[in-house]
Amino acid sequence: MGIIRSLSQLLLVCCLLWPALASAQVDDSQAQQLLTALAESSFKEKKSVVNQIAGSGDDRARTWLEAYGDNKLGRIESSGDFIIVLKNRGRNWTVQSALSGENLGEISRRDIDTIRVNNALRNELEGILSVIDLKSPDEDNRLTAARALKGSVDDTLAERVPDFIAAEESDAVQAALTEALAIYQVEEQGDVSAVATLSGSLNSEARAALQQAQNSDDPALAAAAAKAMESIEQKLKMNRAAETLYFGLSLGSVLVLAAIGLAITFGVMGVINMAHGELIMLGAYTTWGMQQLLPGQPGLALILSIPAGFLVAALAGIAIERTVIQHLKGRPLETLLATFGVSLILQQLVRTVISPLNRTVITPDWMSGSVMINEGLSLTLNRMYVIGFALVVFAGLMLIMRKTRLGLEVRAVTQNRAMARSMGIKATKVDILTFGLGSGVAGLAGVALSQITNVGPNLGQSYIIDSFMVVVFGGVGNLWGTLLAGLSLGTINQLLEPWAGAVLAKILVLVLIILFIQKRPRGLFPQKGRAAEG
Amino acid sequence: MWLTRPLQERSTQIFLGVLFGALVIVSALHLFMPQDSALYVSSYTVTLLGKYLCYALLAVAVDLVWGYLGILSLGHGAFFALGGYAMGMYLMRQIGDRGVYGDPVLPDFMVFLNWQELPWYWAGFDMAWFAFIMVLLAPGILALVFGFLAFRSRVTGVYLSIITQALTFALMLAFFRNEMGFGGNNGLTDFKDILGFDLRTDATRLGLFLATGIALAIGYVICRGIVTSKLGRVSVACRDAEARTRFIGYRVERVQLFVFVVSAMLAGVAGALYVPQVGIINPSEFSPLFSIEVVVWVALGGRATLYGAVIGALLVNYAKTVFTGIMPDAWLFALGGLFVLVTVFLPKGIAGLMSRRSKKDDTDTPAAQEATA
C-alpha cells in the first residue's frame, strides 16, 4: 500500500509541478508536496525526488538537501510540518521550520520523524549540492564548489560539467572544473588526452588519479601519466623548498626580534642581560593585559600594545640598569649572575601575580588565516606579519643608531668612554637610554611573540639561549650581523628539521654554533680596531 | 709532593677537622641515639646531608675553575649529570631481573620501548669498576674535547660562559629524547642495590653519606694541592692577566685545559655519589638553571677560597629545603634576590666577610675582582 501511495504521490508531483519547477521559486504548498514525496518514497525513488528538489531552483532547496544529508530534515508527527533540526543533543531538539525558516524552539525528540537517508543517497547529495553551488551567483561559492568537485565527479555529473564549463565566466572556476573533469576522465575512462590537463596540478586527487593511470595496462596512458607526475613532483619540490624557506625566515625573524635588543645591550654596552628573556615576556603580557582592558577589540589592543609593550619593557629595563647593573660596571660575569637573579624574580612575580598557567592572547581577524599561493602551498598570515614587523623594527633601530644624536653618542661611548665624556657626552644618560632602547625592543619582540606562541612565565627562558647564540654568532656589536645570523640560524634549523626532527635539529644547531665559535671566536662580523680589545 | 702539601696548611687542617668531626657526630647521633630523642638524626636527614655534601663537592669543582682560573662555567651541571648517568647505568644493570618486566638484561624503560638488545654504550656497565672509571672518564673526555676546542681558539670570558650554557642546554635536549637510550624524560630510577648492599637500608645510606664526606675531603685536598702548586700559581696568573702570562711563555691553554678537566671529573664524582642517595637521575640535572645555581653557591660562599664554596653550597641548599617546605612560591624570589645581593653587596662572599673580621690576610684571597676582560 505504502509504495503505491507514495508512487502515486510522486507521479502527482511530477505531473503537476514540472512546469512550475522551471521557474525560480516554488510556493509553499508545492514545497510541502515535494518534501512529503521525499519523506514517503522508498530509497530508490528518493533519488529522483532529490533531483527534483535540486532542479526546482528554489533558494531553500540547498538547505533542505544539506539538512537531509546530515539526517536533520524531519517532520513533526502531529502536524506534518517539515522542520530542520538545528541542535540534536539531548531530549529536546531545537528546530526551525523548513518552509518559512522560522525558529520553532525546542521540540521533544519523540515528536520528530527524521527523513531517513542512506549512504548511496548521501553520495548522490554531495554531487547535487555542489551542482547547486555551481549555479550560485557568487563567484567564491562557485570556486569552492568547483574545487570540492575534484575527485568526486561521477558518471551523471560528468555529463553536466562541460555545460557548466561553457557557461562559466570566471577563469579560476573554469580551470577548477576542467581539472575536476579531467580527473574523472583519467580515473574512470583512462583518457590520455586528459592527462595533459593534470600535468603540474598540485591537487591530491589529481595525483591519485595519475598514480593509478601510471599502473594501467595502456602503455600510452601510463607513459603520459608518468610524465605528468614528474612535473608534479618538480612543483611539489619547489613548494616544499618555498615552505621551508618561509618557515625558516619566520623562525629567523622571531630570533632576530628576540636577539636584536640583546645586540644593543650586550653588543653595544657590553652588558650581559640574562633578564632579557623576561623583558620579552613582559611585552607579551602587556599584549595580554591590553586585550583584557579592551575586550572585544583584539586588533586595536594589539596595535596599542606595540607602544605599551615598548614602554613597559623599557621602564623595567631602566629600573634594572639603575638598581643592579650600574653597580657592576666592568664586571661582566657578575652582571650575568645578578641579572639572572632578576630574571628569576620577574618570572616568579608573573607566576604569583598573574598565574603560573599560560594566558591566551587573541589573534585579530586580519592577522589570522593564510594566503594561498597554490593548492599545495599556503602561508599563514600571522607569521608574515611577524617577518614584516621584525624588518621594520630592525630598520628603525638602524636609523636610530646611524642617524640620530643618540646613536652617535652611543657609538662614541662604546668606542671610548673616557674620551666621549671629556667631549661633553653624559655617559650615564647614554647608558640609561641605550639600555631602555634595548629593553624596549625586547618588549616589542614580546608583542610579536604573543601572536605565535603561548604566553606564559617561561616564555622568556625559551628564547634567551637562542638569542645569545644569535648575537654571538653574528658578531657582538653588529646589528647587521645579528640580522643575518638570526635569519640564517632560523633557516638552518628548518632545513635540518625534516630529516633530524625538531629536537635533534636544535641540538645540531647548538653544536654547529659551538664549533663555529671555535673557528671564529668573535662571530661572523667581528668588531675591528681598539673597540674589539677587552 | 703536591698532594701532601695542603695537609700541612692551617686552613686545610681546620677544614678537614670540621668535616670529619661533622661526619663522626652525625654518624654517632644516627647510630647511638634512641629514635625518640631530640638529638637523633634520622636516615632521611643523613641522606639529605649526603646530598648537600655532593653539592658541596660540585661547588668546589666550580670554584676551582671560576675562582682560580677565571672561567665562569655555566655548564658544570652537565659534568655532574654525566657522572650521575654513568652511576645510574651501573645501578640500572644491578637491578637485573627484579624490574617490573623482569627482563634479565634490559632495563624496564627499554623493554617498554620495545628495544631488543642493549645499545653498545651500555656494555660494561654491569661491572662496578668499569662504571666507576666511566664516572671519571665521561665528564673528563667531554671537558677535554670541549676545552681543547675552546681554549685553543682563545674563547674566554662571557663567550665561554654562554657556550658552556649552550652545551648543557643541548645535552639536556638530547637526554630528553627516548631514542638516546637513557630513559628519556623519566631518566634512570628504581635502583635496588649498590655493590651488593641494599640501597634502602639505613646502613647503606650512612655508608654513602660517609663516602661522600670522604670524597669531599679528597676533592678539597686535590684542589688545594693544585692551587698551591706552581701550576696553581700559573692558573691564577691566567685568571688575572691572560695575555701577559702567554707572553711570558706559559702555554695558557694547557693550564686551562688541565684544570678544567680535573674540575669536570670532580663534578662527575659528585654526580655519581648524588644518584644513589637521591634515587633518580633525569635530564633536569642538565638544565642551565641548575648550573647557574651552583655558581651562586660559590659566589655566596666566596670565590677562590674553596672552603667558601662548601659553605655556600650547604647554606643555600639548606635554605632551599626550608623555603620550599614552608613557602614554595617564595623560593625563586629568595634565590633571585640572593643572586642580586651577593653580586652587588658581597663580591667576596661570606668568606670575604670572615677574613675581613679576623683581619687575617691570607695570600689566597682573591686579589683581582676582575677575572676576565
Interface of B with A in 350-369 (CB under 8 A): 369
**Is A521 in Cβ contact with B154 (below 8 Å)?**
yes
Q: Strands, DSSP E only, in A410-451?
A: none
- Which positions in chain A have a beta carbon within 8 angstroms of at least one beta carbon in chain B? 272, 324, 327-328, 330-338, 340-345, 347-349, 351-352, 465, 468-469, 472, 503-504, 506-507, 510-511, 513-515, 517-519, 521, 533-534
Task: Return the CATH number of A2-121, one of 1.10.1740.10, 2.70.210.12, 2.30.30.40, 3.20.20.70.
Answer: 2.30.30.40
A345/B163 touch (CB, cutoff 8 Å), yes or no: no
Contacts of A352 in chain B (CB under 8 A): 329
Chain B residue numbers touching A507 (CB-CB < 8 A): 170, 173-174
Summarize chain A as % helix, strand, coil (round to 5).
Answer: 70, 5, 20
State how far the Cα of A482 lies from the Cα of A504, in Å rounded to an integer.
24
CA distance A354 to A347: 11
CA neighbor of A245 nearest in space, from A480, A507, A490: A490
Backbone dihedral angles phi then psi of residue B114, each to the nearest 5 degrees:
70, 30
Contacts with A324 from chain B: Cβ below 8 Å: 340, 344
- Per-residue pLDDT reduced to its tens digit, B171-227: 998 999 888 889 888 899 888 888 888 888 889 999 999 999 999 999 999 999 999
What per-residue confidence (pLDDT) applies to A350?
A: 92
| Radius of gyration of the CA atoms of chain A, in A | 33
HSE (side-chain half, CA atoms, 13 Å) at B223: 34
Distance CA B196, CA B89 (A): 15
Question: Which fold would CATH assign to domain A239-361+389-527?
Answer: ABC transporter involved in vitamin B12 uptake, BtuC (1.10.3470)
B169 reaches A (C-beta below 8 A): yes
Contact (CB, 8 A) for B362 and B11: yes
* Amino acid A72: pLDDT: 81
**What sign has the CA pseudo-torsion B48, B53, B54, B58?**
positive
H or E segment and range at residue A177: helix A171-184
The model's pTM is 0.77
Chain B: residue whose CA lies nearest to A534:
B373
Q: How far apart are CA B373 and CA B371, in angstroms?
A: 7
**Cα–Cα dist A232/A376, whole Å:** 11
Mark yes or no for CB contact A351/B329 under 8 Å: yes
Question: For chain A, where do the domains classified as CATH 1.10.3470 start and end?
Answer: 239-361+389-527
Q: From first to last of its 534 residues, what are the pLDDT tens digits of chain A?
A: 555 555 555 555 444 444 444 444 567 777 788 788 888 787 778 777 877 777 776 777 778 887 887 778 888 888 778 888 877 777 778 888 877 777 777 778 778 888 888 877 777 777 777 777 777 777 777 777 777 777 777 777 777 778 777 777 777 777 887 888 788 877 777 777 777 777 767 777 777 777 777 777 777 778 888 888 888 888 888 888 888 889 889 889 989 998 998 888 876 677 888 899 999 999 999 999 999 998 888 889 999 999 999 999 999 999 999 999 888 887 888 888 899 899 999 999 999 998 888 888 888 888 887 777 776 777 888 888 999 999 999 999 999 988 999 889 888 887 788 888 999 999 889 989 989 999 999 999 999 999 888 898 888 888 888 888 888 888 777 788 899 999 999 999 888 887 777 788 888 888 888 788 777 777 777 766 554 444
Q: How many CA atoms lie within 13 A of B187 on its CB side?
A: 23
Q: To probe the interface with A, which of B344, B369, B372 has the most A CB atoms within 10 Å?
A: B344
- Rounded to the nearest angstrom, the minimum Cα separation between B184 and chain A is 13
- A6 or B86, which is more confident? B86
**Burial of A59: CB neighbours in 10 Å, binned 0-12, 13-18, 19+:** exposed
Contact call for B167 and A514, based on CB within 8 A: yes
Q: Tens digits of per-residue pLDDT, A302-319?
A: 999 999 999 999 999 999
Contact A276, A467 (CB under 8 A): yes
pLDDT at B76 over 90: yes
- Cβ atoms of A17 and A26 within 8 Å: the answer is yes
Cell numbers that stand for B44 in this block: 632521611
Residues of B in contact with A349 (CB under 8 A): 333
DSSP B207: H
Whether A332 sits inside 8 A of B296 (CB atoms) is no
Q: Which three cell numbers stand for residue A344?
A: 628569576
Q: Chain A: residue nearest B340 by CA? A: A338
- B 114-153 residues inside an 8 A Cβ radius of A: 146, 149-150, 152-153
| CA-wise closest residue to A303 among A432, A447, A442 | A447
CA-to-CA separations, A206 to A181, A182, A228, A229, in angstroms, rounded: 10, 8, 10, 10
CA distances from B294 to B136, B198, B352 (A): 20, 31, 18
Residue by residue, DSSP assigns A260-299 as HHHIIIIIIT----TTHHHHHHHHHHHHHHHHHHSTT-HH
Phi, psi of B117 (to 5 degrees): -145, 165
CA distance B47 to chain A (A): 28
Q: For residue A510, give the nearest of B166, B342, B347 by CB distance.
A: B166
In chain B, the percentage of residues whose pLDDT exceeds 70 is: 95
φ, ψ for residue B318, nearest 5 deg: -65, -45
Q: Can you tell me the distance from the alpha carbon of B290 to that of B342, in angstroms, rounded to the nearest whole number?
A: 18
Instruction: Using alpha carbons, list the distances in angstroms from residue A213 to A159, A210, A216, B308.
Output: 22, 5, 5, 79
Indicate the domain borders of chain B. Answer: 5-358
Does B337 sit within 8 Å of A345, measured CB to CB? yes
Torsion of CA B261, B265, B267, B273, to 10 degrees: 180
Distance of CA A425 to the CA centre of its chain: 49
pLDDT at B366 over 50: no
pLDDT at A15 (0 to 100): 46
Shortest Cα distance from A359 to chain B (angstroms)? 19
Three-state SS sequence of B153-188: CCCCHHHHHHHHHHHHHHHHHHHHCHHHCCCHHHCE
Task: Report the residue of B161, B343, B345, B348 to disrupt the A interface, i.e. the one with the largest count of A CBs within 10 Å.
Answer: B343
Nearest to B340 among A341, A468, A511 (CB): A341
CA quadruple A149, A155, A158, A159: dihedral sign: negative
Average pLDDT over residues B99-112: 84
Contacts of A371 (CB under 8 A, 6+ apart): A378, A379, A381, A384
pLDDT tens-place string over residues B131-165: 999 999 999 999 999 999 888 888 878 888 888 98
Residue A258 Cα, gap to closest chain B Cα (Å): 16
Tell me what pLDDT residue A2 has.
Answer: 54
CA distance A135 to A176: 15
Buried b or exposed e, range A186-221, using 16+ CB within 10 angstroms: bbeebbbebbebbbebebebbbebbeebbeeeeeeb
Question: How close does chain A come to B149, measured CA to CA in Å?
Answer: 6
Q: Convert the pLDDT of each residue in A467-479 to its tens digit.
A: 888 888 887 777 8
Query: Residue A455 has what DSSP assignment?
Result: B
Quick one: closest CA in A to B330, which residue?
A348
Q: Among A269, A278, A333, A347, which would you mutate to test the B interface (most chain B Cβ atoms within 10 Å of its Cβ)?
A: A333
Residue A354 sits at φ, ψ, to 5 deg, of -95, -75
**Chain B neighbors of A521, CB-CB under 8 A:** 153-155, 159
Chain centroid to CA B360: 29
Residues paired with A85 in a beta bridge: A95
Q: What is the ipTM of this complex?
A: 0.83
Helix (H) or strand (E) holding A393: helix A381-403
Nearest to B351 by CA among B317, B309, B314, B294: B309
Residue with cell 615552505: A243
Give the gap in angstroms from C-alpha A84 to the nearest C-alpha of chain B.
Answer: 51
Question: Kindly report the CA angle at B90 between B84 and B92, in degrees rounded to 5?
Answer: 95
Question: How far is the CA of A153 from the CAs of A117, A159, A183, A225, B149, in angstroms?
Answer: 21, 10, 8, 20, 65
Task: State the Cα–Cα distance between residues B144 and A310, nearest whole angstrom.
Answer: 44
Chain A residues within 8 A of B158 when measuring between CB atoms: 272, 332-333, 336
